[in-house]
Amino acid sequence: MSGFVSFIGAGPGDPDLVTVKALRRLREADVVIHDRLVPQALLHEVAAGAEIIDVGKAPRRHCIGQSEINWLLVDRARQRRNVARLKGGDPAIFGRLAEEIAAVRAAGVPFEIIPGVTAATAAAALAGISLTERGAASMVVLATGTDHSGQLPAKLDWDLLARADATLVFYMAVQGLPTVTAALTALGRDPREPALLVERAATPQERIVPASLGDIASAARDAGIESPAVLITGPTVGSATALMAAGRLVARSASAVAV
C-alpha cells in the first residue's frame, strides 16, 4: 500500500487560473511539494496540518536538486500520504515532469496529472491574440530558448523554425533572446515579423513589450525585462502589436483589454 501523487498545474500566476480538480486535490493533500513560481494564494487552500515543502528553484540558483525532489515524492507517498506536487503553469510543459513520473513509477506509486494553463496561452490571452489563425498560422511551436547549460538548444531544428508557417513561443527566453532572434532571422525568418515579449503574464507585475522580431531583443533589454517571460513571434502577433502601437491594448492585472 502506498499513497498517491497528483502532479498539479498551478497556472501562470493568477490563483483563479487553476482547475476545480486542482483545488480539490490541494485541499485533500497531506503533503504539498511546490515550485517557486506557483501562486502563493493557492497554498492558503492547503489543509491545516498538511506538510508544505518549498523546493523552488531560481534561475542559476538551484535550491533543492531534482533527485531530492524525486526522493521526497516517493518517500512521502510510501508513508501512505496523498502528495500534491504543485508545478507552475502546466506540469507537462518544460517542467521536468518526465523525471518525476519516472521516479514514482519506478517506486510503484500511483499518480495522476492535472493539467494547468501554460505560460504560452496565458501570454497570448493577455496580448489578446490567437496562437493559431486560419490562413496565417497552422501550427504552434513551444520551444525552449536555453538548454540546461544556458546555451542555445543545439537540438532544435532552427531551419524548420525559421521557415515554419507557425506561431513560435519560446520559454526561458530572456537570457538567450539576442541569440534566438539572430538564429531565426539569419536562417530566413522575416526580421519585420511582429513579436512580443510577455513578462510575468497573469500576475500584477505583467508587462508586454511589442517590437519586430529583429528589434525585440534590444526592446526587451531597454525595458529591463526579466525572467519569467516568453517570446511570441509570428503573423498572428500582428493584431496585438497594431493595437498596442495605437495605444488601444491596455494591459491589466490578469487580463488585457482592447478598447
Ligand X SMILES: C[S@@+](CC[C@H](N)C(=O)[O-])C[C@H]1O[C@@H](n2cnc3c(N)ncnc32)[C@H](O)[C@@H]1O
Does residue number 201 form part of the binding site for ligand X (CB under 6 A)? yes
Out of 14, 16, 54, 57, pick the active-site residue. 57
For ligand X, the binding residue among 6, 7, 8, 12 (CB under 6 A) is 12
Kindly state whether residue 172 participates in binding ligand X, applying the rule CB under 6 A: yes
* Residue 228 contacts ligand X per CB under 6 A: yes
The CA angle 23-25-31, to the nearest 5 degrees, is 115
Q: What φ, ψ does residue 33 adopt, rounded to 5°?
A: -115, 115
Cα atoms in the Cβ-side hemisphere of radius 13 Å centred on 157: 5
How many CB atoms are closer than 10 A to CB 202? 25
* Residues ≥6 apart with Cβ < 8 Å to 136: 234, 235, 236
In degrees, rounded to 5, the angle at the alpha carbon of residue 252 between the alpha carbons of residues 195 and 131 is: 35
Q: Which stretch binds ligand X (CB under 6 A): 90-98, 157-165, 176-184, 247-255?
A: 90-98
Is 35 in the active site?
yes
Task: Look up cell 536562417; give the residue.
Answer: 187
**From candidates 133, 227, 238, 251, binder to ligand X by CB under 6 A:** 227
CA atoms within 13 A on the CB side of 235: 13
**Contact assessment for residue 3 and residue 78, using Cβ atoms and an 8 Å cutoff:** yes
Stretch that binds ligand X, among 64-72, 107-115, 149-157, 198-206 (CB under 6 A): 198-206
8 touches ligand X by CB under 6 A:
no
- Which candidate in 14, 30, 35, 90 is catalytic? 35
Q: How far is the CB of 148 from ligand X (least distance, A)?
A: 11
Residues 91-120 that bind ligand X (CB under 6 A): 93-95, 118-119
Query: By C-beta, is 118 or 241 nearer to ligand X?
Result: 118
Q: Minimum distance from CB of 168 to ligand X (Å)?
A: 13
Phi, psi of 229 (to 5 degrees): -150, 155
Is 30 among the residues known to form the active site?
no
* Shorter beta-carbon distance to ligand X: residue 3 or 181: 181
* Least distance from ligand X to the Cβ atom of residue 108, Å: 26
Q: CB-based contacts of 61: which residues, under 8 Å, 6+ apart?
A: none
Please identify which residue in 18, 32, 37, 131 interacts with ligand X, judged by CB under 6 A. Answer: 37
CB of 154 to ligand X, least distance (A): 19
Nearer to ligand X, 119 or 213 (CB): 119
Three-state secondary structure call for residue 212: strand
Rounded alpha-carbon distances, angstroms, from residue 29 to 47, 83, 86, 252: 7, 6, 11, 33
Active-site annotation, residues: 35, 57
- Contact positions vs ligand X (CB under 6 A): 12-13, 37, 87-90, 93-95, 118-119, 122-123, 171-173, 198, 200-203, 227-230
